[in-house]
Amino acid sequence: MNSSILWLNEYSFSSEDTHYFLKNWMIRGDSNLSHLVLEFSTEIEKDAIFNELLIEQKDEEMEFELAGSEKVAFNSSYELKRLKDGAIALILLRDEARCEFRMIVWNPIQEEE
């Protein structure tokens, strides 16, 4: 997979599968991925997703504009840094009518150049 945006409805993988994806992204990284949305058909298990990952909870408000002018606002998120280039994934989990995992990737080093 080498997509920049990926949106999966009725995501059938487990929270452990999502953990494995994050661990792989952190170590190897898909450099093109900028936005990932997974809509789970079951409850999200935050502890299983973040198990043994260096995650930092952020309580600052951020807003991103995505392709197609969709705006995504984060009031509280989790931050995971990719080892190879310092890119940051902001992760938002929502347990509302649909259980949603949203990840937006940005690279602060590239933005400074």
Residue 96 has pLDDT above 60, yes or no: no
Residue 112 has pLDDT above 60, yes or no: no
Q: What pLDDT score does 46 carry?
A: 86
Q: What pLDDT score does 61 carry?
A: 76
CA distance 28 to 30: 7
Cβ-based neighbours of 86, under 8 Å, separated by 6 or more? 107, 108, 109
**What's the pLDDT tens digit per position in 39-86?**
877 778 888 989 999 899 888 777 777 666 677 776 678 999 998 888
Structural domain boundaries, residue 28:
5-112
CA distance 78 to 58: 6
Task: Count up the domains in the chain and report the number.
Answer: 1
Question: Which tokens sit at 15?
Answer: 């929270």
Side-chain half-sphere of 50: how many Cα atoms within 13 Å? 19
- Is residue 106 helix, strand or coil? strand
Question: How sure is the predictor about 2, in pLDDT bands with cuts at 50, 70 and 90?
Answer: low
